[in-house]
A and B are shown apart, each in its own frame.
Chain A
Amino acid sequence: MSNELIALAVPALLLFSAIFILLFGFSSHYTKNRGYFITLATLFITFFISASAMNELHSIKILPQYFNSMIVYDTFSATFITLFLLGGFLTLAIAKSFIDKTNFFTHEAFVLFLFSLFGMVILTMANELLTAFISLEIASMSVYILVGLNRDSLKASEAFFKYLLLGSFAASFYLLGMMLIYAQAKSTNLDVIAEYILTTDLKAQLLIIAGGMLIMITIMFKIAAVPFGAWVLDVYEGASLPITAYMAGVFKIAVFAFALRVFLHDYISFEAIYDPLIIFGALVTMVIGSILAVIQSSIKKMLAASSVVHSGYILIAFASIGGATSNASSAIIFYLFAYFISAIGAFGVLSYISKGSDKLINFDDLDGLGKDRPIIAASLTIFLLSLAGFPSTIGFIGKFYIFTSAIESGYTFLAIFGAITAFISIYYYFKVIVHMYFKESAHLDIHYGYKVSLAFIAISAIIVVWGGIGTSLLLDIPGINALNDLSKFSIESLGL
């Protein structure tokens, strides 16, 4: 399949499937199971279509005569799209029992799920600020509603309103920033802006710099970086677990992908101006995130707070991009892989064992899990170790790349700071392990639902370990080196 066809087929299939479920949902033949499996099948098919475009280096404008080069399909977008589809698939596959046991996953939920994926797919392909804004809002709107899906829960409604209001407010900064950029560069197309920045005196570009900062505010809001991430705890807590997993594991990565494209494509010349801001953001995000994570008593909120810390690590790499030879940008992509699979896994395990109950999972609820459910407990342990950056997991390799690139760019203090943050994270991640393995069993006999979901959890855990030690010496399966090459290709394709 040609790359152009793939680029059109994936969003088209998602959209078609979404509209189909939307209509099918009113028919008497619709059951929750059918809606679920149609969604899953769509994701499965699109995943394989998209994955076939990952290996080679390519970059094409899609139908320039119709879309006015607003959409670009390169290895970068192919990689991220594949990641989102995999993330969506895993989230739903693991959450099967959750979806069965709850009554709020109506057909609209699946429709919104697909719409949000559609938005993210377009977002990573957007080569133009307005397109990016529209797709970002398509994704955000769908996620807002997904957060408030459970109408019976006060917490969910609160989270929905909080997220909606703050999110819309934050989005307005983006519009303002885009306007400022347009006022100076006379275009919203990233290529044109990049050319303008390169050909004009850097000192005469105040509006572009200011506009970039305003866009940065929106991005910082979406990735929940301090000081714009105040919503994150309440929203992650209020949303039902599969949705939290989806937001933390997939949506955040989509925003990072967009940020990376804009930063590398256009704003790399202003690196000296932005670096102090990003460094400040990274430091504050890591400190506040760590404090929040340490004081939580619910695992869901702890993971939410720790996802803030992970945004901080990625900001370190953003600050280190500067050096021309640096590997920082591919380090970001690798870290996103690592964070993606570990976060999906960790939240997935929670959604798997909570089976739709609304209550928060506290540390005490996991007591004795290691004895009762060894495979789930071992998987969760692996995900947490990876999030904590323990060697032999993919999370360690991710941190290794980020710290190396920080030292390479001369920001050794950021690397040390990151190491100290990682040290603190050991505390709150290992606390879960202590509860799972060392405490006496607290719960009665529980049936944990579908074996298939369990298989997906176990597969994700194996991927996490393989991503940390994988080498062709043992098995001829793509390991660390392959992922590294992939992130390199993605970055290279941005320059094509």
Chain B
Amino acid sequence: MSVLSIMIFLPIATALILFIARININTVKIIYMIVTFVVMYLAIGLYMDFDPNASMQLVEFHPWIAEYGIAYHIGVDGVSLGIVMMNAIIMPLVAIALYKQRDKHGYWINLLFVQGGIMGAVLSLDLMLFYLFWEVMLLPIFFMIGLFGYGRNHFITMKFNMYTIFGSLMMLIAILYIAVQYKEQFGTYSFDLYDLKNTTLNTTESLLVFSGFMIAFAIKIPIFPFHTWLSDTYRSAPIGAVIVMSALMAKLGAYAIWRFLFTLLNETSHEVAPYFISIGLFGLIYFGISAMSQIHLKRMFALSSASHLSLIVVGFFIYDVYGLVGSSYLIVSHAVSSAALFLMVGMMYERTKSHYLDVLGGIASVAPRFAVFFAFFALSIVGVPLTGGFVAEVLIVLGAFDYNIGVGFITATTILIAMLFMFKMISQVLYGKVTEATKNFEDLRIHELVALVPLALLVLAMGIFPNYFIKKIEPTAKSYTVEKGMNTHE
């Protein structure tokens, strides 16, 4: 069993044991901490040992359903490494920040479960295995929103669930279709990514298969026009689930486009790329403007997240090594910033019992440390220099200019849209008038600082020493782009 398998199954197995054992909540929290720290420790070890020049590594392969050629096939490369690291780092920090507030078994058990599920989905190289984890990681979120959510959470969790499963089922049919075609061409069944990419499909078939996959990914990310579940779900979800959804699951959708669609249907993806670039750019603006008009903080950040994810999609679809590296980098830096920002929104709600902009105000004068961190993370989302987001956005813009000067221009200008609502939000929440709700606002406690400081340092490190991180991603991206005949800027 390799370190990757341990990272997948240790959280899942622990979650199952905790579910059956029904032990004291404090013990559950301690076990949660231990397990997530073990995973983090393993992930950091993995990062250190990761050899940037070998593309796919730590590959593990065991036949699973022999007759259909389905295998337990996992491995990690430069692009998936980012999400693995984020998954491993964010989960324990969430617990540190929230451990006092959440006294329900289900909360922690579900978080452990979802960590394993996401890890599995990121690392799978077999389509059925991927589908399994992709679906399974939905369940904990479904339960978290239903059990611990706010507002009309039963309705909303059902809507979210059905929306996502619809996409997944379309993807399932697409997977089966491509596998059957593979069987007709090569004589045996296989669901392995590297086998299936040899399948030849005609134009109509590949377009349909592409749409099957794309519906699933587009809903999960979400890109326009599949976003209608988004703002309600984020609003109703408890903070732990929101962090998982925005920092990890949405990124996974974008990553899956790259990993599966670009590998399996490279030509088709190339052909439809202009449409998705336009949808992405439109989404970037549309979600940005929608975010501006929100007065509910979680909804605003949900839309802001969607706006950045559209940018990540654009970065992938411009088919350029800068775009690919930039998007992979943005996946990581946005995950860190948005996780931290949502954590702080959760803290704010705990203190003021409100998510509404007009109820909050003047926090800077009451709680200066909180204000510093909040402003810092909000600005890092916008992508001000010295933060990781800046590096990523510059790379994507460079790639976009290379793709087409018009696209580059639009990308460069619309990135600034995030500034509008972020500055408005900061001025209202941090510097507005002190209100009834915020006048006794308690400043950051020690354990909250312990959770936020590493994230802040990570954001800074990613902004100041990007090379240290990019060198792990770049060789993968280069070899990939060479293979696909893309612009490598050599």
B169 touches A419 (CB 8 A): yes
Residues of chain A lying within 8 A (CB to CB) of residue B62 = 471, 473
Q: Indicate if A170 sits at the interface (CB-CB under 8 A).
A: no
Within 8 A of B (CB), among A370-389: 374, 378
Closest residue of chain A to B135 (Cβ to Cβ) is A391
B162 and A419 form a contact (CB under 8 A):
no
Interface check A415, CB cutoff 8 A:
yes
**B146: which of A397, A438, A469, A473 is its contact (CB, 8 Å)?**
A438
B296 at interface, CB cutoff 8 A:
no
Query: In the complex, which of the residues B19, B22, B72, B146 contacts A437, with contact meaning CB atoms closer than 8 Å?
Result: B146
User: Across the interface, do A408 and B173 meet the contact criterion of CB distance under 8 Å?
Assistant: no
Q: Which of A397, A430, A481 contacts B66 (CB 8 A)?
A: A481
Query: Which chain A residue lies CB-closest to B65?
Result: A480
* Interchain CB contact (< 8 A) of B67 among A378, A407, A416, A481: A481
Q: Is the pair A391, B180 in contact by a Cβ cutoff of 8 Å?
A: no
- B207 interfacial by beta-carbon distance below 8 Å: no
Chain B residues 114-172 with CB under 8 Å of chain A are 128, 131-132, 135-136, 139, 142-143, 146-147, 153-154, 157-158, 161-162, 165-166, 169-170, 172
| Least Cβ–Cβ distance between B44 and chain A, in angstroms | 28
Judged by a CB distance under 8 angstroms, whether B177 is at the interface is yes
Contact (Cβ within 8 A) B64 A407: no
Cβ of A419 and Cβ of B170 under 8 Å apart? yes
Pick from B65, B68, B131, B154: contact of A438, CB under 8 Å? B154
Cβ of B176 < 8 Å from any Cβ of A? yes
Residues A392 and B136 in contact in the complex (CB < 8 Å), given A416-B173, A434-B146, A481-B65: yes
B433 at the interface (CB under 8 A from A): no
Output the least CB separation between A11 and chain B (Å). Answer: 33
Identity of the chain B residue whose Cβ is nearest the Cβ of A389 in the assembled complex: B169
| Closest residue on chain B to residue A419 by CB atoms | B169
A426: B residues at CB distance < 8 A: 161-162, 165
Tell me whether A473 and B72 are in contact (CB under 8 A).
Answer: yes
Is B169 touching A430 in the complex (CB atoms < 8 A)?
Answer: no
Q: Does B340 contact A (CB under 8 A)?
A: no
Q: Does B183 contact A (CB under 8 A)?
A: yes
**B165:A484 contact, CB within 8 angstroms:** no
Query: B132, A404: Cβ atoms under 8 Å?
Result: no
Interface of B is mostly: helix
> Which residue from chain A places its CB closest to the CB of B167 in the assembled complex?
A423
A420 within 8 A of B: yes
Cα A292 to Cα B271 with chains together (Å): 43
| Chain B residue with the shortest CB-CB distance to A388 | B165
Residues in A neighbouring B165, C-beta threshold 8 A: 423, 426
- Verify A404–B154 contact, CB threshold 8 A: no
Closest B residue to A403 using CB positions: B176
Q: A392-B136, A423-B162 are known contacts. Are A403 and B65 too (CB-CB below 8 A)? A: no
Q: In the complex, which residue of chain B has the Cβ closest to the Cβ of A399? A: B172
How does the 8 Å CB contact mask read for A397-440 relative to B, with 1 for contact and 0 for none? 10010011001100010011001101100110011001001110
Structural contact, A420 and B64, CB atoms closer than 8 A: no
Q: A44 contacts the other chain (Cβ, under 8 Å)?
A: no
Using A400-B176, A404-B180 as known contacts, say yes or no to A391 and B136 having CB atoms under 8 A apart: yes
CB pair A391 B169 closer than 8 Å: no
Q: A434-B158, A437-B143, A437-B146 are in contact. Are A403 and B67 (CB under 8 A)?
A: no
**Minimum C-beta distance from A438 to chain B (A):** 4
Q: Is the CB of B169 within 8 A of A420?
A: yes
Question: Once the chains are docked, how many angstroms separate the CA of A431 from the CA of B22?
Answer: 25
Contacting residue for A430 out of B64, B147, B158, CB 8 A: B158
A415 touches which one: B66, B135, B176 (CB < 8 A)? B176
Whether a CB of chain B sits under 8 angstroms from the CB of A390 is: yes
- Min CB distance A490 to B, Å, is 15
> Complex formed: what's the CA distance from A397 to B183 in Å?
18
Chain A, 433-451, contact with B by CB distance < 8 Å: what is the 0/1 string?
0100111000000000000
Q: How far is the CA of A391 from the CA of B64 in the complex (A)?
A: 14
Tell me, yes or no, whether B179 is within 8 Å of chain A by CB.
yes
The residue of chain A having its C-beta at the shortest distance from the C-beta of B9 within the complex is: A474
Closest to B128 in A: A400
The answer to whether B169 and A407 have CB atoms under 8 Å apart is: no
**Nearest Cβ on chain B to A401's Cβ, whole angstroms:** 8
Give B271-286 as 1s and 0s: 1 = Cβ < 8 Å from A's Cβ atoms.
0000000000000000
Those of A108-134 within 8 Å (CB) of chain B? none
Q: Which B residues between 59 and 118 are near A, CB-CB below 8 angstroms? A: 62, 64-68, 72
CB<8 Å pairs between A and B, sample of 19: A374-B22, A392-B132, A400-B172, A403-B173, A403-B176, A404-B68, A412-B177, A426-B162, A430-B142, A434-B154, A437-B146, A438-B147, A438-B157, A471-B72, A480-B64, A480-B65, A481-B65, A481-B66, A484-B67
3 A-B pairs closest in CB distance: A419-B169, A438-B146, A391-B132
What 19 additional pairs, Cβ within 8 angstroms, besides A422-B169, A434-B154, A434-B157? A378-B19, A390-B135, A390-B139, A391-B132, A391-B135, A392-B132, A400-B128, A400-B172, A408-B183, A412-B177, A415-B173, A415-B177, A416-B173, A426-B162, A434-B146, A438-B154, A473-B64, A480-B65, A481-B66
